[in-house]
Amino acid sequence: MEWALSWGYLGAFIISIAGNLIPFFPIPYLAAVFLLASNYGLDPLLLGIISGVGGGVGKLITYFIGRGASKIVYREEDEKLEAFKKLLGNYGALAAFIIAATPSPDDIVILVLGIIRYSITKFFIAITLGKIALSLIVAYFGRASFEIMKILGGGEEFNIVMFVASLVLMAVIWYIISKVDWVKLMKEVEEKGWKEVAKSYLIRRRED
């Protein structure tokens, strides 16, 4: 990881590609993003965007693996896969964004998107925006830890504590997001609109 830290923005881009390149074998590239924002003083906004784009590029490999596998497992006459493809046609981009924006395993979903030949343009845009959102959160946490460290006079151990705390916070956010049935929610939004869905949710909360 030292080379990535010494190369600055270029290092962040390369390690973000590498961290998302091999399915089911992630490299902890977010740690480098955190350290580049905290210890090396890189701009968190630019850093997050560069890292997110790198993450999106890396995930293209997983997508194309699924695309290649589709020649073996995908058949247009398969009703279940066709129904799933139709469902993801409406919500695939949302699913790709959500899994990319959280520190959750995303390779299974990406492989499926490749298998059903989901639009590569929609996939890349959604997955890249999700990775940018995740990298921005980590980068700004890194910058915040640097500012707090300056005020409190903490050292390297304090930085490690802040990094762990940011991972825990992201895990909590992911847990909350994972509890939401997003497909059901989006169907309700299409039928009723955000206003009515929010109103129904508040009424249910009061009744509970």
- Give 91-125 as a DSSP string: HHHHHHHHHHTTTS--HHHHHHHHHTT--HHHHHH
- Residue of 202 and 34 predicted with greater confidence: 34
For the residues of 155-193, what is the DSSP string, one character each?
A: -HHHHHHHHHHHHHHHHHHHHHHHTS-HHHHHHHHHHH-
Mean pLDDT of 136-142: 87
Phi, psi of 41 (to 5 degrees): 70, 20
Residue 189 has pLDDT above 80, yes or no: no
In a domain, residue 199? The reply is: no
**pLDDT (0 to 100) of residue 77:** 46
Other C-beta atoms within 10 Å of 152: how many?
9
In a domain, residue 78? The reply is: yes
Residue 78's identity, in one-letter code, is D
- Residue of 166 and 110 predicted with greater confidence: 110
In a domain, residue 82? The reply is: yes
When divided into structural domains, the chain yields a total of: 1
**pLDDT (0 to 100) of residue 136:** 93
Residue 88 has pLDDT above 60, yes or no: yes
Q: How confident is the model at residue 190 (pLDDT cuts 50, 70, 90)?
A: low
Residues of the domain holding 30: 2-180
User: Using CA atoms, how far apart are residues 127 and 131, in angstroms rounded to an integer?
Assistant: 6
In a domain, residue 207? The reply is: no
Mean pLDDT of 30-45: 85
Q: What is the pLDDT of residues 42-84, one digit of tens each?
A: 899 999 999 999 999 999 998 998 888 766 655 554 555 555 5
In a domain, residue 200? The reply is: no
In a domain, residue 45? The reply is: yes
**pLDDT (0 to 100) of residue 90:** 64
In a domain, residue 197? The reply is: no
Mean pLDDT of 173-192: 63
Total-model pTM: 0.69
- Residue of 88 and 44 predicted with greater confidence: 44
Backbone angle region of 173, left / alpha / beta, with phi > 0 → left and psi within -120 to 50 → alpha: alpha
User: Using CA atoms, how far apart are residues 36 and 31, in angstroms rounded to an integer?
Assistant: 9
21 Cβ partners below 8 Å, 6+ apart? 58, 61
CA-to-CA dists, residue 69 to 57, 64, 111, angstroms: 19, 8, 9
Using a 10 angstrom Cβ sphere, with 0-12 exposed, 13-18 middle and 19 or more buried, the burial of residue 12 is: buried
Mean pLDDT of 140-160: 64
In a domain, residue 143? The reply is: yes
